[in-house]
Structure 1
Amino acid sequence: MMDRAEAERIVLSKGWLAAQPPAFQAALFRESGLLRFRKGETVYLSGSGPGGLYGVVQGSFGTYVSTRFSGPDLSHILRPGWWFGEGPTLGSETRLIGVRAMEASFALHLPLAAGRALVRDPDAARSVSEISRLGMQVAVMNVSELLIRRVDRRLGAVLLRVSGAAENGVLRPTGDVRLTQGDLARMANASRDLVNRMLARFEAAGWVRLGYNRIAILDPEATARFAYQREWHRVAVPCAAIDAAEPGCPAAAMAG
C-alpha cells in the first residue's frame, strides 16, 4: 500500500505541482485523497460529466482521444508527477479525453467541489490552468510525431515521449517503465510486427533495453538524433540497427 507521505514526496519531486507555491501545494494536499486503481480501470471517459483533478503517484495512466468518427485511441501515457482532469475544476462540464490505468496505480485525487473552491483564488486558478498548457505541449508533440513519414523514426520519437525520456524538453535515460509493444504500435500508428522488429534493432544498437511489457531508454540522445534527423542531430547508425532497405540507410552509411 502506498504511504500518503511518500505519495506527497513523489508529486513534489517532479512535474507540475513541484513548481507551484508552497501555500498552494499545502492547500491542495489538505483536500485531496489517495486512490488506488486496478490495471485497466477507467478513471473517466471522453464526454463524461465533470469530476475531480488527479495526480499520478505510482504506475501509469493512458489518455484516450475520440472524435465523432473515430476512437477512443490511446495517445499518451502519464507517469508519476503528471496531473490530469483539470477541465472541470476550471469550469468545464464535460471531459475532453478518456483516461484509464495502464497498470496497478496510485493517484492523488482532488474532488470537484474542493478544486472549484480552490480556484476561486485567481493565483490558484492560474496554477491549475498551467496543467492545460502542459497538456497542449504534449498534444502538439503527438501531432508532430505522427507527421514523421518514416515509421522507424516515428517510432523513436513516440517512444521518447511516452516513456518519459523527453519530458520538459530534457532527454534523460529511464528505468524500466511499463510499455507494451502493442500499446506502442497503436500510438505510433504502426503494425505490431514492425514495432517488434524495430525495437529489437534499437536494443541491438544499445539505445533501449527490452523486458516483458517493459522498456528502458538507455541512450535517449542517440534515439532522438535518429528520430528527428535534424542537421545537428545527425548520428552514425549501423544499418544492422534499422532496415537496410529503408531510404537513407545505404549499406555502409548513416541513417538519414
Structure 2
Amino acid sequence: MACGAGRDASRLDGDAAGTATAWRHHPAMDRRAAEAILLSRGWLPDQPADFQAALLAGAEPRHFRKGEVVFQAGDGPGGLYGIVAGSFGTYVSTPYSAPALSHILHPGWWCGEGPALGGPKRVLTVRSMESSWAMHLPYEAARALVLSNPAAARSVGQLGQIAMRVAIANVAQLMIRRADRRIGAVLLRVTGALDEAALAPTGDIRLTQLEIARMANASRNLVNKSLAQFEAAGWVRLGYNRIAVLDSAALADFAYQRG
C-alpha cells in the first residue's frame, strides 16, 4: 500500500488533537504546528532525531481540497507526504479493475515512500477525503535522504512494512464471512481504533456509510443496519458523515468473535 503510520495515527491527545482539528479548514498551515503534530504520533516519533530533522527541513506544508488526487497509480516518481490534518483515502487497483477505496489515513500517517526507495511508479492512488493538510517532501529530497546513510534508508523502509501489515489486515478482514462482523472489523481498522494489537476509542472520524460499504464489501443497507446496532450497544457514536468508536474492545470482541 506504500503508506504507513507506525503507532496509532488516528488518536489525538491533548494539544495535538486541538491543533489538527483547528487546522483542517484553515487557509494557512503554520509550519511549527505541522511539525509538532507529526512529531507527536505515528511513525516519525520513533525515528532518530537527526533523521526527523533532516526530513522535516526539506518538507513544506501543502493543502488539498476535498476529493483532490494526491498521486495516482502509474504516476512517475514523486515525494513523501505526512498527513497533518484531515484524511487521505488509499485506492487499490489492478490492470483489470478500477481503483477501489481500501483504507483511510489520518494525521501522523505518511505515504508515497515507494519512489524514494527506488520504485519507478506509484502503485496506488491517494485522494484527499476532506479538506486536508500534509507536509510534502519532494522526490529529490526524499531520494537524497534515503541515499545519505543506511539508517535513513531503514527508517523510510519501515513505512513499507507498516503498509504491508495494513494490507494483510485488510485481506484478513475481507475474509470474514458474516457481514456485520466484517463491517465491525473494517471499522476498527479504518478509524484507527485497532492499531496492530492495541485497542482504544477514537475521536470523531470523517467517514460515510457508502465508504464503509465499499471498504467492507457490503451493501449500504447492511452497513446502515450494522451501525445502528453498534450505536445501540454503545460501541460507536454516529453523526453526519462522522463516526466515533467509543468501546473498541467490545466492538473487537464482536467482530473477531473473541471471548
TM-score, with normalisation over the residues of structure 2? 0.88
Gaps of 5+ in 1: 235-256
Segments of 4+ moved more than 2 angstroms = none
- In structure 2, runs of 5+ residues without a counterpart are 1-27
User: Which of 121, 134, 147 is equivalent to 2:175?
Assistant: 147
Instruction: Give the partner amino acid of 2:120.
Output: E
Whichever structure has more strand as a proportion of its residues is: 2
How many Å separate the matches in 2 of 1:109 and 1:7?
11
When Rg is computed on C-alpha atoms for both structures, the one with the higher figure is 1
SS in 2 for 1:72: strand
Secondary structure, aligned partner of 2:84: strand
Structure 1 counterpart of 2:67, from 29, 36, 40: 40
Partner of 1:156: 184
Provide the C-alpha distance between the structure 2 equivalents of 1:11 and 1:118, rounded to a whole number of angstroms: 18
> Which residue is 1:107 aligned to?
134
**1:3 Cα deviation after fit:** 1.5
Q: Which residue of 2 aligns with 1:61?
A: 88
1:194 has 2:227 as partner: no
State the 1:169 CA deviation. Answer: 2.5
Shift of 1:184: 0.4
Secondary structure at 1:106 match in 2: strand
Deviation at 1:71, TM superposition (A): 2.2
Is it true that 1:228 corresponds to 2:241 in the alignment?
A: no
Shift in Å, 1:107: 0.4
Report percent identity of matched pairs.
63
SS at match of 2:172: helix
1:26-62 deviations in whole A, cap 9, x for unaligned? 0001100010000000001111111000101000000
**2:243 counterpart SS class:** strand
**Residues in 2 aligned to 1:163 and 1:81: alpha-carbon distance in whole angstroms:** 13
Q: Which has the higher contact order (CA 8 A, sep 6+)?
A: 2
CA distance in structure 2 between the partners assigned to 1:169 and 1:179 by the alignment: 23
1:221-254 C-alpha deviation (Å, 9 max, x unpaired): 000000001xxx22xxxxxxxxxxxxxxxxxxxx
Aligned residue type for 2:176? I
TM-score by length of 1: 0.89
Q: Which amino acid aligns with 1:200?
A: A
